[in-house]
Structure formats: structure tokens, C-alpha cells
């Protein structure tokens, strides 16, 4: 008797496919088929743009009238260029040497970036190319050129003169320093292109304004007043110089060339010159970052995005759909990562649209309402710093979305998760003005709030002091460093959520 053959049962349904592309497609389908979630993404765009526009139109408009345009340097940026200048002509290659006393201020102490030194400059016209070497009270010897370039030298004594030398060889300028006039040390070399054969070589002093910051909870005031600095020059030689010494003021003269006892003056006695000046030689840094201000709406626009991101996971727990999801795709960690990828992509697109519209609509109005719009040149959407700020804002919102999703997966409570993320990202902005500057800067460095640093576009110059107030959107770290901090938070919390999800019941 033969044994019948039993054919195993085979389902007519195709086997489940839980590969990552399939997971992405499934999560994208969930996101796009819920109408209110699409409306929430739209609300993120609309709120971001409206808040940015409201911020732009809330400023007071100012009419420049007949104000002359500010001077621009060789590289096109607005510059500060005003100082007493004692000089003579220099044709071809040559050098200038002088012994310079430490610069002093009104009551003895000068600003750390006050300058006293020697300069070779195209002309007395503001913004003309130059190379200079100088001593500063707080930063030693420096070699600077064309306003934006700076090379550090050695330290200097606060009570003894220091020797400086600047040589020209074609378009190359080399600076030297000496404590005794015998042993010389090279500071550095810089290149100044396009100088004519005959230039002006001479002596100068300059100083930034005195700045005073008064800070208390909820209020910060920044005040400034013109500073004044004085220095004496002797043992002056100009190799290749021609003609007599001339006394001029680069820029608008406050007291007139050669006047005595006035803010800008130059006097000579027995071959030694004493110069007193109240202007500065430096790149001009605007007080307001217009690009950053045009994107300020993202701080509020992220609130609906946070709510959507949390709901993207907690809604499935609340309705019991998460069991179905994990039955179809048992690898829970990959499910959460797929949700994060889909959500980050949607948030990035919404953020990019919001950032582009906010910049295009808000930036022109913001510039026109500045106290002196001439000091705020037009910026374009295709310029490098602007591209980084706009693109970075989209990445910022994507990072916030992933962070909110991860917190939602950990807490499984919509209200608590949304409140926590909003508190972490929005409340510090309100409280920063009440903290000491040092503490506020640490908050901006270490919390997810650091991501907003990517919106800042103002250049930072080592040789220019600035008041960096956290409540004004000044971040102590660089743009990409700040964005990296936010992304690190998102990745770490998402990793923690994946680990926790694998070890607890659905």
C-alpha cells in the first residue's frame, strides 16, 4: 500500500517585503495621504514667511538724504578709513623704518585694537589700497593690508618703544619688528596688487570706538563714543622717499591737518612726530545681519513642524496602528529610521521653500529700513553666504523634524513631546538676555539652538572687536559648527529611540 504524497500549503499571497525602499515608500504614503499633515507642512512655510515679513516691516524707515556713500575698499566691501597721516612720496621699491611709542588713550589706556605704525598707501583717498605694520596695546605687532588681511607678530612692551620696518618689492610688502633697532624679526609678507609706481609712505595712528555694554535681566544696552589715541614716532627713515613730509587726514578731518589739541592732529619737534587720531582703519561690520534677520521666521515656523513630526509616530501608538506596522516590518529600528528619512526630506523641501520666499520678500525691506542703508550693500540669493544660510535653514528644519520624531518615539505622548521640543528651541531665545553673556554663549553652543548659527552671514575678522550679544542672534561658534551640534542631537536621540524601541513593547 503506497503512502499518499502531501503537498505543503502555500499561500497565494506574495511574501512580505520589508526592504528599506519599501519602508520608505510605505512611510511616504502615510505622510502624503493624511490631509492635515500636508496642511501642517504648508503652515510651516506660511508662518515662516509671515513672521519674517512682519519682522521686516516692524523696523523704522530712515531716509538717507544727501549722505555721501561710505568708502569701499579694494575688495569692494564698506570700510572705515580715517586717520592722521604724515607722509612723503615713495617711488619704486623702498622701505620705511620708525621707532614707535606704545599708543595711549585719553586717560592712559587705549583700546586693545588701537594702532600706531607705518603704512605705504596708494594715496590719501579713503579706501585706497595699502599695507601697514603697527603695534597695538592688546594684540602685539600686526601686519595688515587692504582692510581685511591681518598677520600677527610678536608681543610688545606697554611702556617701551618698538621698532617697525615695512619694505616694498613690487607688489609684495614685508614687515619686520625689533625691540632695539639692531636685531630684526620678520613679521610676514603680504601682497597688494595694482599699486602705482609712486605711492605715499608714512606714519599713522587709529583706534576703534570705545564700547560700553550694560546688561541686566531683560535689557541690554550698548553704547559707544569716539576714542582717541596718541603715539610718538622718531628715528624715521624712508629708503627711496622723496620730498618733504606732508600732514594730511585720510577721510574727513576733524580738526584740520596739522592742528594742535584737536582730535586729529600731527606735530613735529626735532625730527620726532606726535600723532593723535580718532578714526580707524578696518573693515566695516554692519550691526544687523540682514540675511539672518530675513530668516527669523523659522524660529516660529518650526512649531507646527514639531507637532507634525511628533504625531508621525505617536498617532500610530494612539490608534493601535503601530502593531500592524511592526507585523508587516518586524525590524523596528529600520521602521523608525525610514520615518526619519521621509520626514527629514519633507521638512527640508518645506524649509527650503520657506527660506527662499522669506529672503526674497524680506531682505529688500529690511535693508531700506536700516539707520543708514548705504552701509548695507545689496546681497543676492546666489552669493555664497546667502546660499549657505538659506540651504542651512532647510537642513535646520529637517534636523528639528528628526529630533522631534525621536523624542516622540521615546515619550509616546504627543503633548509632552511637543512641549519639550518647543521649550528647548524657543524658550532659550526668550531667556538669553537674562543670563550672563558667558552662560548664554554656552547655551548657544551646546543645545539644539546652536543650529540657528547657520543663518548668520556677517564676516568675522580676528582683528576687529565686536559686541556679540546672544539675544541679537550672534552665535559664538561658526555656522556649520552650530548646525553640526543640532544634527548630532538629532542623530543621538534617534539612536536612543531605536534602541529603546527594540527593547519595549509596542
> pLDDT tens digits, the chain, 506 residues: what are they?
455 554 443 434 344 455 788 888 888 988 998 899 999 999 999 999 999 999 888 865 554 455 677 888 998 889 999 999 999 999 999 999 999 999 998 776 788 999 999 999 999 999 999 999 999 999 999 999 999 999 999 999 888 999 999 999 999 999 999 999 999 999 999 999 989 999 999 999 999 988 766 666 555 666 567 889 999 999 999 999 888 999 999 985 433 333 343 468 889 999 899 999 988 999 988 888 899 999 999 999 999 999 999 999 998 888 777 777 777 777 788 889 999 999 999 999 999 999 999 999 999 888 888 877 777 777 888 889 999 999 999 999 999 999 999 999 999 999 999 999 988 887 777 777 677 777 888 888 889 999 999 999 988 888 988 777 777 778 888 899 999 999 999 999 999 999 988 866 55
Rounded CA gap, 310 and 429, in Å?
Answer: 22
Tell me phi and psi for residue 69, to 5 degrees.
Answer: -65, 145
Residue where one domain finishes, among candidates 268, 283, 298: 283
Which residues contact residue 335 at a Cβ distance below 8 angstroms, ignoring those fewer than 6 apart? Answer: 23, 27, 325, 326, 329
Rounded CA gap, 233 and 162, in Å?
Answer: 10
Axis crossing angle, helix 437-446 with helix 479-502, rounded to the nearest 10:
60
Q: What is the number of domains present in the chain? A: 2
Considering the domain architecture, whether residues 200 and 347 belong to the same structural domain is answered as: no
The three cell numbers of residue 9 are 500549503
Rounded CA gap, 416 and 193, in Å?
Answer: 61
Rounded CA gap, 345 and 336, in Å?
Answer: 14
Considering the domain architecture, whether residues 399 and 327 belong to the same structural domain is answered as: yes
Residue 127, phi-psi category: left (phi > 0), alpha (psi -120 to 50), beta (remainder): left
Give the angle 439-208-247 at the CA atoms, nearest 5°: 170
Helices (H) and strands (E) in the chain, counts: 10, 16
Considering the domain architecture, whether residues 137 and 267 belong to the same structural domain is answered as: yes
**Residues facing 91 on adjacent strands:** 198
User: Nearest Cα to 288, choosing from 221, 373, 223?
Assistant: 373
Residue found under cell 500592524: 324
The pTM for the full model equals: 0.83
Considering the domain architecture, whether residues 307 and 443 belong to the same structural domain is answered as: yes
Range of the domain at 441: 20-60+288-502
Residue where one domain finishes, among candidates 236, 257, 283: 283
Rounded CA gap, 128 and 120, in Å?
Answer: 11
Torsion, Cα of 465, 470, 475, 477 (10° steps): 80
CATH number of the domain to which 96 belongs? 2.60.120.560
Considering the domain architecture, whether residues 252 and 297 belong to the same structural domain is answered as: no
Residue where one domain finishes, among candidates 283, 314, 330: 283
The three cell numbers of residue 88 are 612723503
- Whether 10 is covered by a domain: the verdict is no
- Whether 112 is covered by a domain: the verdict is yes
Q: How many residues does the chain have?
A: 506
Amino acid at each position: 500500500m503506497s503512502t499518499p504524497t502531501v503537498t505543503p500549503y502555500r499561500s497565494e499571497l506574495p511574501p512580505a517585503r520589508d526592504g528599506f525602499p519599501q519602508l520608505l515608500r510605505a512611510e511616504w504614503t502615510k505622510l502624503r495621504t493624511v490631509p492635515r499633515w500636508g496642511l501642517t507642512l504648508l503652515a510651516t512655510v506660511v508662518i515662516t514667511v509671515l513672521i519674517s515679513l512682519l519682522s521686516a516691516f516692524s523696523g523704522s524707515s530712515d531716509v538717507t538724504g544727501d549722505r555721501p556713500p561710505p568708502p569701499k575698499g579694494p575688495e569692494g566691501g564698506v570700510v572705515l578709513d580715517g586717520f592722521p597721516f604724515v607722509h612723503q612720496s615713495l617711488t619704486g621699491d623702498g622701505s620705511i623704518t620708525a621707532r614707535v611709542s606704545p599708543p595711549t588713550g585719553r586717560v592712559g589706556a587705549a583700546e586693545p585694537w588701537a594702532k600706531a605704525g607705518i603704512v605705504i598707501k596708494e594715496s590719501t583717498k579713503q579706501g585706497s589700497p595699502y599695507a601697514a605694520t603697527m603695534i597695538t596695546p592688546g594684540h602685539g605687532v600686526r601686519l595688515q593690508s587692504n582692510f581685511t588681511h591681518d598677520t600677527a607678530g610678536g608681543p610688545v612692551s606697554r611702556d617701551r618703544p618698538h621698532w617697525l620696518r615695512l619694505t616694498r618689492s613690487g607688489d609684495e610688502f614685508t614687515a619686520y619688528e625689533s625691540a632695539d633697532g639692531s636685531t630684526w624679526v620678520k613679521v610676514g609678507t603680504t601682497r597688494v596688487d595694482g599699486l602705482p609706481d609712486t605711492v605715499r609712505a608714512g606714519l599713522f595712528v587709529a583706534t576703534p570706538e570705545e564700547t560700553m555694554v550694560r546688561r541686566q535681566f531683560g535689557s541690554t544696552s550698548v553704547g559707544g563714543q569716539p576714542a582717541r589715541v596718541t603715539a610718538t614716532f622718531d628715528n624715521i627713515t624712508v629708503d627711496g622717499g622723496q620730498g618733504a613730509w606732508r600732514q594730511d587726514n585720510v577721510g574727513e578731518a576733524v580738526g584740520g591737518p596739522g592742528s594742535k589739541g584737536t582730535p586729529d592732529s600731527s606735530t613735529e619737534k626735532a625730527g620726532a612726530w606726535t600723532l593723535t587720531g580718532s578714526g580707524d582703519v578696518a573693515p566695516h561690520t554692519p550691526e544687523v545681519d540682514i540675511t539672518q534677520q530675513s530668516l527669523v521666521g523659522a524660529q516660529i515656523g518650526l512649531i507646527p513642524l514639531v507637532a507634525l513630526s511628533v504625531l508621525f509616530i505617536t498617532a500610530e501608538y494612539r490608534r493601535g496602528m503601530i502593531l500592524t506596522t511592526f507585523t508587516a516590518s518586524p525590524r523596528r529600528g529600520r521602521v523608525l529610521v525610514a520615518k526619519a528619512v521621509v520626514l527629514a526630506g519633507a521638512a527640508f523641501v518645506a524649509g527650503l521653500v520657506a527660506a527662499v520666499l522669506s529672503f526674497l520678500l524680506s531682505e529688500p525691506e529690511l535693508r531700506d529700513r536700516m539707520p543708514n542703508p548705504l552701509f548695507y550693500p545689496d546681497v543676492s540669493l546666489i552669493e555664497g553666504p546667502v546660499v549657505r544660510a538659506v540651504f542651512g535653514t532647510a537642513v535646520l528644519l529637517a534636523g528639528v523634524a528628526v529630533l522631534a520624531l525621536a523624542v516622540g518615539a521615546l515619550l509616546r505622548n504627543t503633548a509632552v513631546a511637543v512641549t519639550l521640543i518647543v521649550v528647548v528651541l524657543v524658550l532659550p531665545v526668550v531667556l538669553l538676555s537674562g543670563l550672563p553673556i558667558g552662560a548664554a554663549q554656552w547655551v548657544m553652543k551646546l543645545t539644539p539652538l546652536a543650529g540657528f548659527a547657520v543663518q548668520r552671514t556677517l564676516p568675522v575678522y580676528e582683528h576687529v572687536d565686536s559686541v556679540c550679544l546672544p539675544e541679537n542672534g550672534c552665535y559664538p561658534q561658526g555656522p556649520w559648527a552650530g548646525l553640526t551640534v543640532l544634527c548630532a542631537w538629532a542623530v543621538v536621540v534617534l539612536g536612543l529611540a531605536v534602541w529603546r524601541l527594540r527593547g519595549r513593547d509596542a
